[in-house]
Structure 1
């Protein structure tokens, strides 16, 4: 996992695909887009725009992916993201069509508060539970870049 802020991303050694995502973010007004999925490089790199209200950790679920790396970039609101390694979790059946591995277990770490401009990069071995209240329930808008692992 890599946690950072858009303003300081130049100090992090990122992959070419991650650089493509951040460049796309900087050149497009994603906060103005409606929720949905937008292609950048076909199925190799795309971005999902999501809007939701945060919930308690008991209301949220753990997930990981096998085919895609996630780059969560918060655009509006605040949220907490809990993290763990999948080898420390109990796996439920994997949904290959959705590239969704649901997990059960305990947090090993958390990003206690993501604000606008903060990002979290999750590799396939990184379990994450998103949309948790950072402080109080609030509305969030964020983009989740998806990078195919064999890109």
Structure 2
């Protein structure tokens, strides 16, 4: 049941889900005058920084070049919901329900990660500036693929424990 759309419209759509901590962080991340935005845009290419937001909620602030799909993998999580926000650049994302996949690497509790064998029958979509993709535990997804050409992407992903989503 992945949800994809503009951050401002999704904030309004999900207003009854008690996600203020998520959207307050995202608003700062897109505000060019905020410390969070400056911190992310000052990260070197290849960065993948874990930042605690509150209690068990954290962000993974990232700067990377998109790459060929064959270099990527399909993943899902059990403990966390992914809120993936593009701050700059284009990233082709892919989604498929976990029931349609064959596990490649079984659940790693420490990483909260299951990986699956790569296949082609996924739903593909393009995330651009201020686009947000939300992936729940049944939503396998592929990140990092290039759209047309490899390009630099600034992105932040909030990991929200499933039990906090109401």
Q: Do the two structures share a fold, i.e. TM-score over 0.5?
A: yes
When the two chains are superposed, the root-mean-square deviation of aligned CA atoms in Å is 1.5
* 1:16 positional shift: 1.2
Check if 1:76 corresponds to 2:88.
Answer: yes
Unpaired runs of at least 5, structure 2: none
Alignment of 1:1-151 (within 5 A): 1-14=2-15, 15-17=17-19, 19-28=20-29, 29=34, 30-33=36-39, 34=43, 35=47, 36-43=49-56, 45-91=57-103, 92-106=105-119, 107-111=121-125, 113-151=126-164
* 1:105 positional shift: 4.1
Give TM-score scaled by structure 2 length: 0.82
Structure 1 CA distance for aligned equivalents of residues 115 and 11 of structure 2: 33
Query: Residues 87-109 of structure 1: CA distance to partner in whole angstroms, max 9, x if unpaired?
Result: 11111211100101111143431
Structure 1 CA distance for aligned equivalents of residues 89 and 65 of structure 2: 9
Give TM-score scaled by structure 1 length: 0.90
Unpaired runs of at least 5, structure 1: none
Structure 2 CA distance for aligned equivalents of residues 105 and 61 of structure 1: 6
Query: Residues 31-86 of structure 1: CA distance to partner in whole angstroms, max 9, x if unpaired?
Result: 3224411111122x111101111011111111100000000000111110011011
* 1:10 positional shift: 4.1
Structure 1 CA distance for aligned equivalents of residues 28 and 97 of structure 2: 33
- Give SS of 1:136's match: coil
Structure 2 CA distance for aligned equivalents of residues 51 and 136 of structure 1: 16
